[in-house]
Amino acid sequence: MPLLVLPLLPIRCLVSAPPFSIVLDILIGVALGFHLAALISFELRLGQTDIRNTGIITSLVLIFFFTTVLLVIVLYVVSGNCAAILDYFKGAWARTVEAYKITLEWLRTGVLPALRGFFGG
């Protein structure tokens, strides 16, 4: 859990003066680096009960997903574009729905007929 990063993000959205914003950007970078290094080195153990209970693949997918979401938020905050975070995620939802529609159509019209032809059905 990126507990050192999360409190710095709203503060950085409120502070835009160059000397303070640069210091906050450095602190966010160091805290995020510490979080990622700790996650990789000793927090992520495959013998943990939560990972064993939910499964390794599910846990790794969720960790990767939420780490990616955190990185997107951090990049928007550090770039000084805090107001665009919500717009990004609204657009991401629309893009995801469209990507699933295209994928399902491809499976229905391309893959399934090819499999029927391959297996003689």
Q: Are residues 116 and 64 in the same domain?
A: no
Q: Are residues 72 and 99 in the same domain?
A: no
Number of domains in the chain: 2
Each residue's pLDDT tens digit, 66-104:
999 999 999 999 999 999 999 999 999 999 999 999 999
Q: Could you write out the three-class secondary structure of the chain?
A: CCCCCCCHHHHHHHCCCHHHHHHHHHHHHHHHHHHHHHHHHHHCCCCCHHHHHHCHHHHHHHHHHHHHHHHHHHHHHHCCCCCHHHHHHHHHHHHHHHHHHHHHHHHHHHHHHHHHHHHCC
Q: Whole domain around residue 107: which residue ranges?
A: 83-121
Q: Are residues 87 and 55 in the same domain?
A: no
**pLDDT reported for residue 121:** 61
Examine the pLDDT at 43 and tell me if it is beyond 90: no
Work out the mean pLDDT of the chain and round it to a whole number. 92
pTM, two decimal places = 0.77
